[in-house]
Homo-oligomer: A and B are copies of this chain.
């Protein structure tokens, strides 16, 4: 988990420098990249922050980079900058999940406000993701049989009913149940249901 930065990707060095200076004047840490390819080559999922992305660049475009990042489940909010955009392009980007879309020239304060807001969004997303990853790791510790028993538990069934349906002894259900609670770090079926509900709607 790296420190949150605003990542600036633009082939225009003057623009990179201007954005760099602007954001740093508002205490936002930055890193800059001259091309989509260069950024992508160094991207990894633990980079945190947001991405300020020029659309029109030689080689890979901003939109193409965005697609690539989405394919890789990148969580960072993306703010598109464009000097020659149009409404359909803006609408399509936002509907695809981009965080914002600005035309150049832009209002300095407005841009920084949006970057700061995007960083907050990233932070919230990342906290959720860390939590979700932890639960997923616990689930991965369950044996196949435990997983089956867990589904029945979550369906609110009595141990006796579970035993009947799985054609095993009730004592066995109890053993699996205890092991599930232990591995999942919960003390009751309600705790378990709440824990799993918390990652289900993400």
Contact = CB atoms under 8 A, between A and B. Distances in A.
A80 to B, nearest CB: 9
Nearest to A158: B188
Nearest to A85: B87
Interface stretch (A5-13, A33-41, A66-74, A95-103): A95-103
A189 B153 CA distance: 11
Interface in A166-202: 186-194, 197-198, 200-201
Interface in A147-162: 153-156
A100 to B, nearest CB: 7
A60 interface: no
Contact of A87 (B101, B155, B187, B189): B101
A144 interface: no
Nearest to A188: B156
A77 to B, nearest CB: 12
A31 interface: no
Contacts of A91: 90, 94, 100-102
Cβ-closest 9 pairs across A and B? A197-B197, A201-B201, A193-B193, A156-B188, A156-B190, A156-B191, A189-B190, A94-B94, A87-B90
11 contacts: A90-B90, A91-B100, A91-B102, A94-B94, A154-B190, A156-B191, A156-B194, A189-B190, A190-B192, A190-B193, A201-B201
